[in-house]
Amino acid sequence: MLIDILIKYIHLNPIRVKVVRTDEEYPWSSHRFYSGGLVMEDAIIDIGAVLGMFSEDGRKARRLYLTVAKRTQANRPSRLRKAVVLRI
C-alpha cells in the first residue's frame, strides 16, 4: 500500500540519520498528531485525510496507522527499509 511506504519513508528519515531514536522525539513530525499524542486545535495538517486511508472508523484508523509506524522502528531491517535507506 502506498500510504505504508510514504509513512515509513517520512518517519524513518530522522531516525535513519540519527537525529532522534523514535519518531515521537522529532518535533517537526506530524506523527504525534496521527498517533493521538497532540491535539489538533492549532495544527495546519488534516489528519483525517491520512487516517481515513486506513479506516473510516477513527479509532481503528489510528490503531492501523500506529501499527505501520511502529513497524518502521523495528530493529530488524525489512526489504522496504533497506530500499529506502539505499535511495536516500
Q: List the chain domain ranges.
A: 2-87
Tens-digit pLDDT profile for residues 6-45: 877 787 788 888 898 887 888 888 888 888 877 767 667 8
Tens-digit pLDDT profile for residues 51-69: 888 899 989 999 988 888 7
Q: Beta-strand (E) ranges in the chain?
A: none
**Cell (9 digits) for 22:** 523514535
Q: Residue 15 is inside which H or E element, if any?
A: helix 2-16
